[in-house]
A = this chain, B = another copy of it.
Amino acid sequence: MDEFDLIEHAFRQRASFVHKLTRLPNGDDASIHAVPEGQEMVMSTDISMTGKHWPEDFPLNDAACRAVNAAVSDLAAMGATPAWMWLGVMAISSDDADQMGQGVAMALESISMELAGGDIVRSPVNALSVTVAGLLPQGSGMRRNVARIGQDIWLCGDAGLAAHGLRQWQQGKHEGNHVPYFRDVRPLLNEGTRLRELGVTCCIDVSDGLFADAGHVADASGVALHISLEKVRGFPSLLTEMDEQEAIRLALSGGEDYSLLFTADVGQRESMQTFARRIGECRKGNGIHITLNGRKVNVVSKGYDHFS
C-alpha cells in the first residue's frame, strides 16, 4: 500500500466529518476554511511520541486518541470551540499507522472536529504532530498574562491522578485504579467555553504539572500565585496511596493533568464553585508559593520536560 492509500485508509475514511465552515476539505494541495465575521481563529500545535508522551508498551490507538485530546486541551484553555485538525503522522509500520488512525478517529468523533489535512511518513519512531484550530468571538480568548493581584486562583479538574496512573502502568499495573486518568484525556471544552462566557480572562491548561504551568501565569502576569495544596482535587486521594512527599511530587510536577487553572475576581466565587475548586490567590510578588495545611512546601522538580 503506498503513502496516499495509507493515509486514506488509516485516517481519512475513519474521520469523515466535515465542518460547516469548510469550503474545500482534505484532498487538495490545501484545505480552505471560512471564519465568520466577529470570530477569530485559535491555533495550537503539539508533538506526541512513543517513549516520551506514552510508554513503549501503551496501546497505540489509546496513545493517538490522547495525543489529539491533549492538543485540543489548549483550545479549551482559550475558551475556543474546536473546528479543524491537521496531522503529521510518523509511523514505524502500516499496522502502527492503522492503530493511530483508530485512536485519532475516536478522539475526533467525540468532539466533532474535522481532519482537514495530514501527511504521513515511515519513521523509526511512532509520533503524531497535531495542529488544532478552534473559533471564538473576537477579543474573548483567555490568556495567561492577565492575572491580577487579589484574584482567586481556581482549578477545574484535578492534579496528579494522571501521573499516578502513568506510574501504575509503568509498574506493570495495567489495570491500576488510576490508569484511566492517564489514558483518557478529556479536554475541558465545555468548561473553557463557560469560563470565557462568565468573563474569565486568565486561564492556562495544566499539562506540564501544576507548579510549572502556574509558574507561566505568574511570570507572564507579574504576580505571585499562592496555592494551598490540600484544596487541589485529587491530592487527598493520592495521600491514601503513597507517602506525602511522593503525592506532592505527582500533584505538582507529574504532568498530563489537562486541568484548567484560571483566576477570577472574588465577587465571582458563587458562579465558579459549581465547576471548579478555589485553590489559592494572586498576591503582589512573583513565583509560586505552595502550602500544605499552612506549612510551606519546597518544590524540587519543576515539571516534565519532554526534551530530555
Binding site for B on A (CB under 8 A): 2-3, 6, 23-24, 27-35, 37, 40-47, 49, 52, 74-75, 77-78, 80, 84, 86-90, 116-125, 127, 129, 131, 133-134, 136, 138-139, 141, 143-145, 204-205, 220, 305-308
Contact = CB atoms under 8 A, between A and B. Distances in A.
A278 B51 CA distance: 51
Contacts of A134: 30
A129 B44 CA distance: 13
B42 A32 contact: yes
A146 to B, nearest CB: 10
14 contacts: A3-B308, A28-B78, A28-B145, A29-B74, A30-B74, A30-B78, A32-B41, A32-B43, A34-B41, A35-B35, A45-B131, A121-B307, A123-B125, A131-B131
Nearest to A304: B3
**Complex copy number for this chain:** 2
Closest 8 A/B residue pairs (Cβ)? A88-B129, A129-B129, A30-B44, A3-B307, A35-B35, A45-B86, A29-B74, A29-B77
A125 B132 CA distance: 24
Contact of A123 (B27, B42, B44, B49): B49
Contacts of A145: 28
Contacts of A3: 305-308
Nearest to A4: B305
A29 B123 contact: no
Given A3-B306, A30-B75, A305-B3, A45 B144 contact: no
A31 B122 CA distance: 30
A49 B2 contact: no
A209 B252 CA distance: 52
A178 to B, nearest CB: 25
Contacts of A205: 29
Contacts of A204: 28-29
B40 A307 contact: no
Given A29-B204, A32-B41, A49-B123, 7 more contacts: A3-B308, A28-B78, A29-B74, A30-B43, A32-B141, A47-B121, A52-B121
Nearest to A80: B30
